[in-house]
Structure 1
């Protein structure tokens, strides 16, 4: 049901000096005004406390006067909006979208250029964007800089990663705003040279907490045909300013009037749980453009992937590249063979999994990265030991779907040239989902992952894939900004530092997964690839010191705390067979949800989430902590009153510790109702996962 109410339009003669917009509950307020010089500025408050003080709005344009002052207000319009909509896949069955809106129509007095600024006030925060309407005085134009500023009221605690235009795969740092300094970061992210870094530039989403206990998050929604948002930090004045990745010749965005910018968002609450639960980013995106979504479905999968990360095998078939595939000399270590794929298909079928991902099936991996090569993969030619047709038939006989892998090696131009042939090949051979990868420097050369060209590409691929009824899971992409509402076949993305880093780098610290729900996950589901049971890499090689920085129980909990309708059981089948009782939770846990309750949360410390399976009277709970052990008592009042449930608790053993004893776990069963309480003890770097089945 949708309800729209237009309630006020003011002409220029009626405009007062400032315009105030409040959220439906009146807890969040935005104020807009023009300064004496005609500069547009805004401010944000929460429960009468200043959050954003007077901050600039506007643009610098290439070879044109800047749109930053000398404005006059032509008119304003306000409206209220309320609807409930149903996501195709999601954390809840229905999402409420309710806000009040203010639209300010501006005219630049020197040349009569028109610019509109639209504000929306939700109970979760404020969003605003720029509109460049069709007009006689402006048609095509180039953005030199966006002048949007965010002036905070204090030196807040901040969770940040460096503003690398080419990668978001970093460990979060926790410092005050005044402590932001990219020199503190290990900029070797493990997969290649970092992009252009600046000392005080950070990425969004940017999570903060004030000394008064107010949680603030700066992000964006609906990043379309525009670079994603980075922020330049003024560490002395607790302020941020928009920063956009340039193209190869230094321009930020090529636009034409009729354009609307991404939404700039400021979430705010005195309860951290509200930030995690917010659907504000999704609500700021357009509704689904797909009439038929019956082919879009959740998938739980295994795959030929982790064994390469732990050096059990290789992506490449040979050690030396040959143009003629028939001249390749096999190295004997190639993982994506017909026989090995059948092994994974058998394992998936035996355990009720939907799919099998195969990486390294196609030619080109001998030269796939580091050479900045234009054409590495053609996405249709298999290695000699991978029988495409035989595996299509075998997977179909087992009722298992194969998941395609398209690594582009950053050569986006090559991928777009071959995209339709690649998708046709997929459909001809029974693949309905694809994992795309973008490791390396971008081709066209000089472009960045986070620039306008690549944002357009990341949005184009799922749109094109939808014509073939293909679901997309992107890795090394820009962080999602809610566009999965518009293109629900964009089923998941990586776009942050995932679980793979634990296999061959310094890894992800225990706090990492407690921060992701406040940052990366605000924009859409994440393919984090949880479920690693063999924690220490010395199991595969005694000389290796790397490990996953969690306990085994925490790996189970991640299936609940890190939302995705596409979830991988990332470890090797043999490890799941060795810990079959713990593996049962991965087999049981749902992927699509009717309801989600954030029970407790603190960024960088802990988070506990309970979710109800779609169309079933089953709940699943995940609780995780950072490097500190933790005890918690949870009310189970989210369960249906009057019903009894069997709770199966997968938790850390008494001596468990992420570093010293990570695989120690225990399983207990108890009968509970909505009136029960559940006591959990989480080890350092640990967690707990709970299944609730009705009796």
Structure 2
């Protein structure tokens, strides 16, 4: 017996892996507790895409939840449903997965931790679950230590980890090069706090040397801090890094509680990443019984003329104002204030003429003179208009034109102040026929020391969405935390910015490849209010003091309405500019907002993306192609069209001599008869692309004189 006992000590029984396969068998998960440490591994078509990676937490003033675990039980199950989003890229979504729930106990502390894995046919989602228990009730997370061990020095499409902003251009490099490129990747912003010298943000897009595309993100970010990833260049392992609060804590927890899901999407086809619905499927179903008031919106507004510096948000140029104390009736107007009654009426007229539902008006409320960078707490009340903005007159004028105004609430980062006025502000909207709001969080967060992506601010953003729903108001939040699929649960969250959008084209420019990367990164979590449609690339034409240049052709600006998915789309340029290009503007008028089907015809992150989308409730299709700085030829087939139908395709394309810097306004518009057997070979200029509207023909006379493609 002594000899046998000695052998058992020297050669302990190896941990047995718990295995799980996706419904079609393409993915396989292995989970095991190895020497007390929970680990997982993910294989895709027999290729390891995430090598053995550890899981757990560091806790404040408590023993960590990193080791000392034993497996106390496991449960497996399968799930398969089809659900219909209120709005979206497709009319219905299949939610099919196999699930493994592992029950762990840390024997030294008698604390329990569960990990739930859901394996889909396009990837993995997993989260931590803290069950109700006597030895772990209230606790503080110092750090989540989830690992994603990559199997090589993958190409990464990344922006710097930052607690306050995602408004960076993307860098394309190997994982091993992240730290050396970090300094040049961090460019100035109104509020920024880089997370670490090796930190990157999710959604992170990767490509292995075997040609496998891998995307890392999170889903259902609720009551928790947003996750970044720290890159270890020595072994290509990425480790979670949560956004802290003002005193450095990462999360305040009370069991029972679940974390957000950590997601891994993978495929040999880049387009499959774009079409994955894992992020939405890992969120809870819609919480509202009535969603009839939530509708996609196409809008215009005075925003771009202020972004370029042509006009001003502020009514006066006085250096200091105080909420409720400044008497604007005794101040001299600066003459550049865009949100005045007569000017807004002209935008309402343009919207009505061209079929736009809403007009966004920024700078309508008092307080803009010294809002930025002053760390003011009581900065706006979201109720009191400037003297030249007549709320009642504009409300009635908009009604007479069958147009709504879109509200704007810039908080200046003063979250506490926004919550003071929120109920009154939303009721003000209801009383004056506003049903959607663009909110903003420019600048450092107040209370001071909190961050845009910390647990406290994350809680606020969702609080604002829920509160808006009580008033049947849709929310488009700018500078808020990046989306994680919460629009499934709260579909009045109809848009977000949370990335470097079109406004930066007036602040020095976005890289030409920017819109070929964003769908693989930022849009994995939800739609973006990118505000496309800029037809005048020379910003100095609006403001001689601003020499910025929009790095795009007009044809690509049209394509963005298809490639940059959003149920909330702005025609961002000025009416007088659109009036010079009404032939191209027609595509913006025609393009749909809500889709029955979406296809990716071509895709390579950083190079190009070509989408085809079918409008919900019709047989109209729209195609969009966004191209990087290299000239390319796109080759697509129209085999997605119905076999027994006839169509006319209007192709808005770059001219042969088009170039995003040298000749951005050069475009062609041609019409062709097309069918499911048609094929297209289309030139795309540097920084260019193309857009196509495809309408079914029911009257053969419409085909007269139209050539076949």
**TM-score, normalisation: structure 1:** 0.96
Q: Contact 1:40 / 1:71 at 8 angstroms: preserved in 2?
A: yes
Q: Residues 516 and 607 of structure 2 are in contact (CA less than 8 Å); yes or no, is this contact kept in structure 1?
A: yes
Residue correspondence of structure 1 range 104-115 to structure 2 within 5 A = 104-115=102-113
Tell me the distance in 1 between the aligned counterparts of 2:432 and 2:362. 16
- What SS is found at the alignment partner of 1:275? helix
Are positions 1:453 and 2:452 aligned together?
A: no
Aligned length: 679
Q: Would the alpha carbon gap of residues 78 and 15 (structure 1) be closer, same or farther in structure 2, given more than 3 Å must change?
A: farther
Q: Name 1:59's counterpart in structure 2.
A: 57
Partner of 1:96: 94
Cα deviation for residue 538 of structure 1 reads 2.9
Residue 361 of structure 2: aligned partner: 358
Contact 1:554 1:685 in 2 (8 A): yes
- Alpha-carbon displacement from aligned partner over 1:28-56 (angstroms, at most 9, x marks no partner): 111100112x1101111111111111111
After TM superposition, the structure 1 = structure 2 runs for residues 65-76 of structure 1, keeping only pairs within 5 Å, are 65-76=63-74
Match for residue 598 of structure 1? Answer: 600
State whether structure 2 residue 623 is matched by structure 1 residue 624: no
| Equivalent residue runs for 1:520-559 within 5 Å | 520-542=522-544, 544-559=546-561
Q: Is the 8 A contact 2:15 2:34 kept in 1?
A: no
Write the mapping of 1:131-142 to structure 2, written as runs, cut at 5 A. 131-142=129-140
1:268-283 equivalent positions in 2, closer than 5 A: 268-283=266-281
Within-5 A mapping of 1:230-629: 230-320=228-318, 321-322=320-321, 323-326=325-328, 327-505=330-508, 507-542=509-544, 544-629=546-631
**Shift in Å at residue 185 of structure 1?**
2.8
**8 Å contact kept, 2:160–2:185:** no
Q: Identify which range, 626-635 or 350-359, moves more after superposition.
A: 626-635
Q: How does 1:153-168 map to 2 (within 5 A)?
A: 153-168=151-166
1:542: how far off? 5.0
SS of alignment partner, residue 431 of structure 1? coil
Residue-by-residue CA offset, 1:220-257 (whole Å, 9 max, x unaligned)? 00010001110111112111110011111111111100
Paired position in structure 2 for 1:117: 115
SS of 1:453's equivalent in the other structure is helix
- 2:198 aligned residue (179, 182, 200): 200
**1:127 Cα shift?**
1.0
Structure 1 runs (4+) deviating above 6 angstroms are none
**Aligned counterparts of 2:303 and 2:524: Cα–Cα separation in 1:** 27
Q: Secondary structure at the match of 2:517?
A: helix
Question: CA–CA distance in 1 between the matches of 2:24 and 2:331?
Answer: 67
**1: CA distance, partners of 2:54 / 2:394:** 58
SS at match of 1:463: helix
1:149 equivalenced with 2:151 (yes/no) = no
Separation (CA, whole Å) in 1 of partners of 2:57 and 2:133: 17
- C-alpha distance in structure 2 between counterparts of 1:15 and 1:613, whole Å: 55
Cα distance in structure 1, aligned partners of 2:546 and 2:409: 30
Q: Which runs of 5+ in 2 are unaligned?
A: 1-12, 698-709
2 CA distance for matches of 1:81 and 1:298? 30
Q: CA deviation at 1:74?
A: 0.9
Deviation of 1:504 (Å): 2.2
Instruction: Return the offset for 1:458.
Output: 1.2
Cross-structure match for 2:696: 694
* Residue 223 (str. 1) matches residue 221 (str. 2): yes
Deviation of residue 440 (structure 1)? 0.2
1:18 counterpart residue number: 17
Alignment of 1:174-189 (within 5 A): 174-181=172-179, 183-189=182-188
Measured after TM superposition, the shift of residue 541 of structure 1 is 4.2
Q: Tell me, which stretches of 5 or more residues in structure 1 are unaligned?
A: 1-13
> CA separation in 1, counterparts of 2:457 and 2:94?
31
What are the superposed Cα offsets for residues 364-385 of structure 1, whole Å, 9 maximum, x if unpaired? Answer: 1011111111111000000000
* Selected match of 1:633 from 632, 635, 645: 635
Give, in whole Å, the separation in 1 of the partners of 2:86 and 2:536. Answer: 35
Q: Deviations over 1:652-683 (max 9, x none)?
A: 01100001000100100000001111221100
CA contact (8 A) 2:553 2:659 kept: yes
Do the aligned residues in 2 keep the contact of 1:325 with 1:383 (CA within 8 Å)? no
- For 1:65 and 1:398, the matched residues in 2 are separated by 65
| CA distance in 2 between partners of 1:32 and 1:589 (Å) | 46
Cα distance, 1:16 vs structure 2: 6.5
CA deviation map 1:606-627 (0-9, x unaligned):
0000000110010000011100
How far apart are 1:328 and its partner, in Å?
A: 3.2
C-alpha distance in 1 between matches for 2:545 and 2:519: 34
TM-score by length of 2: 0.95
Task: Give the C-alpha shift of residue 187 in structure 1.
Answer: 2.7
